[in-house]
Structure formats: structure tokens, C-alpha cells
Amino acid sequence: MLLFLLGLVILVVGYFSYGRFVERIICPDERETPACACYDGVDYVKLPLWKNMLIQLLNIAGVGPVIGVILGIKFGAIAFLIIPIGNIIGGAVHDFVSGMMSIRNRGANLPALTKITMGTTYARFFSVFMTLLLLLVVAVFINIPANLLAGMVPGHALFWYMVAVIFLYYIAATLFPVDKIIGRFYPIFGGMLLVGTVAIFVALMWTGVHQPLLFTESAGFKEHMMSEPIIPVLFVTIACGIISGFHATQSPIIARTLESEYHGRRAFYGMMVMEGFIAMVWAAAALVVYNLFPEYMLKTPSFVLGQITTYFLGTKLGALTIAAVVILAVTSGDTAMRSMRLSLAEMLHIDQRGLHKRVLLCLPLIVIVCGLLWWSNKSAKSFGHLWNYFAWANQVMAASTLYAATIWLIAQRKTWWITVVPGVFMCFIVTTYILWVSPKNGGPVGFALPLVPSYIIGGVMAVVLAVAAYFRGLNLRHGRLAREAQKVTEEEDRDKPEISVDI
């Protein structure tokens, strides 16, 4: 119980202290935001701060901080410290800096920001990789809510009907202007999410007062604890509560609707901290249920989720909470599809003001996602592979984004260790995971190296890339200074009076 409460304190104190420290480094000002400078009535639209905060929360808080922590808490109560510390110095910084980078570059999407910071060659690879990740995100965030909704009506084969309904919503939210569907309905969805989370939290506090030992690992729990190494597996399993590269694909959506740079800390940093709170609540609830019913540790996360809501809230309020989790998935999946459309439009230079252009761009995405849904539902093993690839690809994106942010900060002569430290750590994590993991370790295809060599190679790779990012940032800084000096010289030359010489 004490670790859980300490973790919550870290989140609150971290937001008001470290969050303000990072904000002073970024230094928001009065410059015109993309919502004002690039208004188009579709994606560049001014929205009030409270709406932007709820939209950002629902965009980023997919099933990761629920399904991910139900799996991640199997490593033990140490997750109650890892989640908030990683969130404050890693995930929230990642979201805030990537969002502010987008604002300072006219609402540019992640591929464009990567091209600016890391060059054209890497940006091409990154764009393809990001599109593949977003396709996985959309498939996962249709599959899970469809299964949850179908499970609420036992005895009926409703899965594909739920898929159709969710997919139609995704398409509508992707095609229509941001203020017509997302801006209108997200506040309602956000209210449902907060009611469900707060209800679980209140029930947890009641349980903690009367049965505090349920927040520690019981003998039955320890018998089924994860045998995999916490580093790197925990940081890949909890794919959103600590840090998530997917969030950087969502931040540009809000970067195009904020009316002031001063709203950035609350919209980006603050909403990631709120996601950390959601992750902590579900991790604690899962720990309690696993202690009471250790055999549930062998069940699927979706089954455990249903048991959590029923145990703490009963059937009716539990159903509302499951609906809130469905909303988490749906409201991340639709904006993932929207982000794919925006990024492809940016890469292919396709204007998005005409509806027919948005439809044509979405058609191939729809076909591919349908194929992934069909494959992922062939068996539980297929879906397991889909989730694994989504999880580690998500953290590859996080490491890449943090290195790009480091380059940007160095070029701007700003304090850059705030991004390079979590960037090096996440690069170490994903490199180690890919080198170590294999089907015999219960994961996707990897190199199956022993753990120690994987640690060594992962550490060297992370440091080498950090050094490369440092020199890349210096080169961009000098190039920017040279361009500014040339601009000043040209302006001075224009101001000089003309001198005529008679010969």
C-alpha cells in the first residue's frame, strides 16, 4: 500500500516540479500557434484548453495503461515505483517536447520532424516504420474493444459486428474535421473514463484501509510471478503507462488545435501524468485480484480486466468501467488512423481540404487493417504476436523520438540531457529486448542471444547513437547560425546606400 501511495505522490510532485523545470527549458512564448497561422477548418482549428486536454488524454491512453499493467504487475509491486518515475522523467518529457517541436514547426507530424532533425535517409525509414506501427495500433485497438463488447453479451457471436461498428466510427473520425466528431464527443468519453477510473481508485482505497496486505505479493502471487528479467521485459510490456512512442504521433493533432504555447505543459506533460495515474490504479487493482485469485495470473488480460471490474464495482458499475476501457481503445485507434492519414498526406504532398482526397488516402489503410484483423483473430497465438510486435515497435518509436528531440534541443542551444537520458535508456531497452527475445522466451521472433551479451550490445548501441545525435545537433546549430548570419548580412547590404563611381 505504501509503494502505491508513494508512486502517486511522485506523479503529483513530479508534475509540479520537474514538469515546470522542463517547461522553462522549452520556454513557451506569445508566438502565433499553428491553429491560428494555418487555420484550414479541418485539422488546424482552435479548441479550448479543456477540450484539448481531454482529447490528448483519450488519444494517448489506449489499452496500454490497462492491459499493459495487468501484465506488468506480474513482475511485482516494484512496478508502483517504476511506472511514476519513468513517467515523469521519460514519458511525460517525451510527449511534451515532441508536442512543442510540432508547434514550433507549423504542426508538423513526426516523419517531418524526424526529417528536420535526423535527415532525409533516416526519415524515410522512420516514416515506413511509423506507418506500420500505426497499422498495428489500429488493428489492436479495434480487436480488443470488439472482444470486450462481444464478451458483455455471452452466447452471441457479435465480434465481427462490433468490429464493423468500431471501424465505421474510425473512418468517420478520420475523415471529418477535428472539431466535428473528436472535439464534440471526446469530452463525453473523457467523463466516462474519469468516472470509471475514479470509481476503481475509491474502491482501492477502501480495500487498502481494511486489507493493506493485498497490495504486496502474497505466496500465491509469487508462485506465478514473471520469470523474465524486469530489464528489458517490463518496459516493453507496460507499453504506455511509462513511455510510449505512439504518443508522439498523436501530439501533432493537438499541436494544430492549441491556441497558446503556454497550454503545452498541461496538454502534453499533464495528460501523460494522468495516464500514469490510470496505469497505477489498474496495476493496483490487478495486484489485489491476483493476490485473491492467483490462478488468474494464467488467464488472459481481458478476462482479468472483467474480474477486476466485477470484484471492485459489481456488475452494473463494472460494465460502465469496461465501457470506459473500450473508450480508451477506440479513442486512441481513431486518432491513430487520423495520424496515418495526416502523415501520408504530408509525405505525399496531398492537400487534405477536399473530402474525396481524404477518402482516397484512407482506402488502402482500411484494406490493410482488415487483413490484420482477420489474421489476428485466427488464433490466440496470432493476436499474441500482434501485441508483441506492437509493444516493442512502440518503444523503438519512443527512443527515436527522444533522440530527435535531443538533436532539436542541441540545435536550439537548450538543455538537452532531459531527453538524451531517457532516450539512451529506451534505446538500451529495445535493443536488448530484440537481441534477447525469441519464441522460446515467450516473445516474437528475435535474435535469441544470451542476456548479458544483449545488455552489452544494447548499452554500446545506445551510447553510440547518443553521440551521433549530439554531433548532428551541433551541425544543425552551426548551420542555423550560419543562415542567420547570412540573413543579417543580406539585410545590412540592402540598407546600405548605393554608391556610384564616375570613371
pLDDT in tens, 30-61: 999 999 888 887 778 898 998 899 888 887 87
CA 182, chain centre distance (Å): 18
- Residue where the block lists cell 527475445: 437
Confidence band of 73 (pLDDT split at 50, 70, 90): very high
Confidence band of 354 (pLDDT split at 50, 70, 90): low
pTM of the model: 0.85
**Gap between the Cα atoms of 451 and 243, Å rounded:** 23
Confidence band of 22 (pLDDT split at 50, 70, 90): very high
Class of domain 2-384: mainly alpha
Domain boundaries, the chain: 2-384
Confidence band of 13 (pLDDT split at 50, 70, 90): very high
Query: Residues 315-337: what's their mean pLDDT?
Result: 75
pLDDT in tens, 162-175: 888 887 877 776 66
Residue 368 pLDDT > 50: yes
Confidence band of 373 (pLDDT split at 50, 70, 90): confident
- pLDDT-wise least confident of 78-82, 142-146, 467-471: 142-146
For CA atoms 265, 64, 287, 444, give the dihedral sign.
negative
Output DSSP code: residue 43. Answer: S
Residue 487 pLDDT > 80: no
**Gap between the Cα atoms of 167 and 369, Å rounded:** 10
pLDDT above 70 covers a percentage of the chain that reads: 87
Residue 493 pLDDT > 50: no
Mean of all residue pLDDT scores within the chain: 83
Q: Is 49 helix (H, G, I), strand (E, B) or coil?
A: helix
Q: Where is mean pLDDT largest: 103-117, 128-142, 449-463?
A: 449-463
Instruction: Report pLDDT for 488.
Output: 43
Burial zone of 461 (CB within 10 Å; 0-12 exposed, 13-18 middle, 19+ buried): middle
Residue 276 pLDDT > 50: yes
Instruction: Report pLDDT for 380.
Output: 58
- pLDDT-wise least confident of 62-66, 135-139, 267-271, 482-486: 482-486
Confidence band of 340 (pLDDT split at 50, 70, 90): confident
Confidence band of 409 (pLDDT split at 50, 70, 90): very high
Confidence band of 477 (pLDDT split at 50, 70, 90): confident
Instruction: Report pLDDT for 355.
Output: 66
**Gap between the Cα atoms of 169 and 384, Å rounded:** 25
Query: Residues 261-276: what's their mean pLDDT?
Result: 95
